[in-house]
Every structure is written in C-alpha cells, then in structure tokens.
Structure 1
C-alpha cells in the first residue's frame, strides 16, 4: 500500500516536472520566434529605407530624357516640338509611375511597425512620407500648370517647384534632408533590435530612456 502511494507520488512529480519543462520549452520557443520575427521585420524595413533614399535620387535626377515619358498619352494634334516639351515635363511623373509599387509596399510597413513596436516606431515614416508627398505635389502642380501654357507659372513659383523636383538645386535640399532624417530615425529603432537577443524588451527600454 505504501509502495503504491509512493509510486503515485513519484508519477505525479514526474508528470509535473515534464509539464514544467514542456511549458518552459514552449515559452523559450515563443521568445525565440518573436525575436526572429522582430529582427526580420526590422531588417526588411531598414533595407527599404536605404533603397528609398536611392530611389528618391533617381526620381529627382536632373538628367532626364523625353523617352522616359513613353507612358504619357499624347494629344491628337500635338506637334513634334510640343510632344517633346510635354514629354520632358512629364518625366518626373513617369518616374513616379514606374516606382509606385515600391513606395506602396514601403508605406505598408508602417502599420506592422506600429503593431509590434508602438506609435513611436511608426512615426519614423513621417520624414520619408513628407519627402515623397513634397516631390509628388511639386511634380503634379508643375505639369498641370505648364501643360497647356509654357508660361503658366511665375518664375518664382516655377523655381520653387523645380527645387523640390530636381536634386541639388536648393541649399539646403529639403527633400534630401528629410530622406536622411528618415533613415537616421529608423536606424535608431531598428539597429538595436537587430543586435538584441530580446528585441521587444530592448526597444521598450530604449524608448523609456528617450
């Protein structure tokens, strides 16, 4: 009788120990999986921020060719000279069209960053969003104003728009500055996470100190 009771206790203890080990292993696996997910997300985001800076340089390159505007719908009665003028005018918009998938994908990461790391991580997208919107607004405004009338803008307004469209026309170059600020902000979030063994905990500590 005593032996049976003792065996029962030993079985219960062994079962409990097994459950404890299993739970501990599951928790460890969850931490490792979460850490891997966080690191992979940050790697993907920071890589795309670096690529975004390069793509913005391509968008704003002053070396443009009328052949880039092949997607522009030409009017029925455009002369050859008029087509050439409008094609050059359309180049920034053609470049935007060619890159649209990249920028849409980039901005979609904002919501994943917010979900995992909070609002402060999501706000790192603000600088890059401001730069993109500034370029797009300038390119659209310039094209619409000059499409039918080559003198549709005052010299001052046209200069201001072209300083946003083309790189290095202004000093400082506000769009280039915003792109660099975006990268610096995202590096402050992502690099500690990539280097940390417990990303979410490390980020929380960093944000509390800031």
Structure 2
C-alpha cells in the first residue's frame, strides 16, 4: 500500500472517529437536556402541589367561623346591641383579614401558573383558576355582607345573602359546596404532579440501594 493510501486511510479513520465522538456527544447532550427538563418539571410539580396544599388549608382556616360561642340569653347592658353588631361585622370580615395575612402564598401560586402551563399545558393548569375563583368569591362575599349589613333581605336578596354566608363558611356543614370544589381542584393538580414526584422518589430510592 502506497504512502498516499496510508495517509488517506489515516485521515478517514480520524474523520470517522470525530464523527462518532460528535454523535456520542450530541446524544449525551440530548440526554442531559432531557434529564434537566425532567428534573425541572418534577421540582415545579413539588412546588405547585405544596402550594395547593397550603392554599387549601388557608382557605379552610379563613372560612372557619371566628366564634362558636352561643349567647344563651339577652344582654341588657347599655350599648350591648351596638357591641354585638360590631362583633358580627368583625366576624364577617374575618375571612378577608385571614386571607390578607396569607396573601404571599396565593401570589406565589399565581406566579408559578405560567411556568406550569409551559411544562404541562393549559388544561392541566385549570385548577389554578379554580383556586383563584374560590379565593375571590370568599373575599367578595364578605364585602357584600358588610355592604348590606343591617338591611332586611327579601326574596332573591335573601337567597344571595344566604349564598354569601355559605361562601364565607357560615352554616353549610356537610353540604359545603365550596369546600368540595376546593378538594376537587387539589385532587386535579395531584393527578398531574403526583406521578412525577413518586417516580423521582422511586428513582432516588433505587439509586441508593
């Protein structure tokens, strides 16, 4: 074999080696990117699911009546009626006060919504809208009750007032439709997030064995 052929063959082998190395590098890079995307999705799923659990508990606490004490008799003290009215107004506004104190939780949840949509799609992000709707309904209902306080509702107005009271947690008990909506929203986000979280924990466990 002539020196020229030997040189050409050497160049060919070098080129093939470079191609193989480049192909392996691209595959490695793609695998790394896939792993990073998967890790980010899982971390976001953990963050969002934890946020939904916190939001659920805060909304449940916000709607918990401020006072369960019953007055067995009339209070004949001078000014007692005015004090009772002020107390009732305060109890009506309690959900707003509690939600305001925990506003950071809902702000963080709203901020994560668009990242969640980017990874999981708009349909999977529907529970975010439900949580926001429930949050707004509680606040709006409390404001409406304060605004109409002292008025004698009749007909449709009485039905609306009953609905506002139910929304802030007064009197529905086992038939609490808002609580059911809240639980369904959390369950829906769990169906998206939980498989990723469980898979990550399973992988970590297997890697540690």
TM over 0.5: yes
- Compute the displacement of 1:127 (Å): 2.8
How far, CA to CA, are the matches of 2:171 and 2:38 in structure 1?
A: 41
CA gap 1:121/1:26 in 2 versus in 1, 3 angstroms: same
Q: Deviations over 1:8-61 (max 9, x none)?
A: 112111111111111111011001000000000111111111111111111001
* 1:3 matched residue in structure 2: 6
| Structure 1 residue 190: Cα displacement | 1.2
Residue 125 (structure 1) aligned with residue 135 (structure 2): no
Q: 1:109: Cα distance to partner? A: 2.1
Which residue of structure 2 lines up, in the alignment, with residue 22 of structure 1? Answer: 25
Change (3 A) 1:195 1:87: closer
3-state DSSP class of the match of 1:151?
A: coil
RMSD of aligned Cα (Å) = 2.5
Report the Cα distance in structure 1 between the residues aligned to 2:102 and 2:116, rounded to whole angstroms.
Answer: 22
Find the residue that maps to 1:160 and give its secondary structure.
helix
The number of residues matched between the two structures is 181
Q: What SS is found at the alignment partner of 1:166? A: coil
1:142 offset after TM fit, Å? Answer: 0.9
Equivalent position of 2:61 in the other structure: 58
Rg larger for: 2
Gaps of 5+ in 2: 69-81, 201-209
- CA 54–167 in structure 1, closer or farther in 2 if over 3 Å, else same: farther
**C-alpha deviations, 1:106-161, integer Å up to 9, x for none?**
12222112111212111132332332222122111112222xxx336455543322
Task: Find the aligned partners of 2:41 and 2:171 in 1 and give their Cα distance.
Answer: 36
Tell me what 1:187 maps to.
190
What TM-score comes out, normalization by structure 2 length?
A: 0.76
- CA–CA separation in structure 1 for the residues paired with 2:137 and 2:199: 35
Asked if structure 2 preserves the Cα contact closer than 8 Å seen for 1:127 and 1:181, the reply is: no
Q: Are the equivalent residues in 2 in contact too, given 1:48–1:106 (CA < 8 A)?
A: yes
Shift of 1:169: 2.5
- Quote the residue 1:111 is aligned against: 114
Distance 2:92 2:179 in 1: 22
Work out whether 1:40 is the aligned partner of 2:43.
yes
Candidates 137, 140, 156, aligned match of 2:140: 137
Report the counterpart of residue 162 of structure 1 in structure 2: 165
Q: What's the TM-score, normalizing by structure 1?
A: 0.76
Shift in CA distance, 195/15, structure 1 to aligned 2, threshold 3 Å: same
